[in-house]
Amino acid sequence: MNTNEIGLQSEKAADLADKLNHLLANYQMFYANSRAIHWNIKGEKFFELHQKFEELYLDSFEKIDEIAERILTLGFTPLHTYTDYLQEASIMEAKNITDARGTVQVVLEGYKALLKIEREILALSDEADDEGTNALMSDYIREQEKSVWMYQSFMS
């Protein structure tokens, strides 16, 4: 059995790195959208949502770094160009959305996409006995499920 530097099966590590790169591209889009809606939010909920969206993009910035470093730890190269992100991501650019409900919908759609990918990675990392990736995904999922509940409550 061929293993990488941290003792994981090389083939499984490659599969994980591919999925993590997909997640990385989607986080880059989520980050860009969070910055855009932070800058462009208007209306009576401006102060509340402006602050929440700043929290989102700062959190996304940290997660982007964690995901890229995990890919490197697995022995692979993280995607690092916007061309790659745009081609790889399922999250689309959110352009010129300024109202409260529209911006929160962008966040909810982003979380839906991220959670789907993270659950796929969680299953793969469990199968590969990759506790490092598994723990990262578990933390992300737990945090984001709570955020979905909170943003969904705002929409109700």
Query: Does any domain span residue 2?
Result: no
CA nearest 20: which of 152, 156, 132, 150?
A: 132
> Could you tell me the mean pLDDT of each successive run of 10 residues in the chain, 156 residues long?
93 98 98 98 96 98 98 98 97 96 98 98 98 98 98 96
Domain that holds residue 39: 25-155
Q: Report the alpha-carbon distance of residue 10 to residue 8 in Å, rounded.
A: 6
Q: How many domains does the chain have?
A: 1
Are the C-beta atoms of residues 79 and 70 closer than 8 Å to each other? no
Q: What is the pTM of this model?
A: 0.96
**DSSP structure class, residue 74:** T
**DSSP structure class, residue 8:** S
Query: Does any domain span residue 11?
Result: no
Instruction: Supply 150's token pair.
Output: 């909170």
For residue 69, the domain's CATH number is 1.20.1260.10
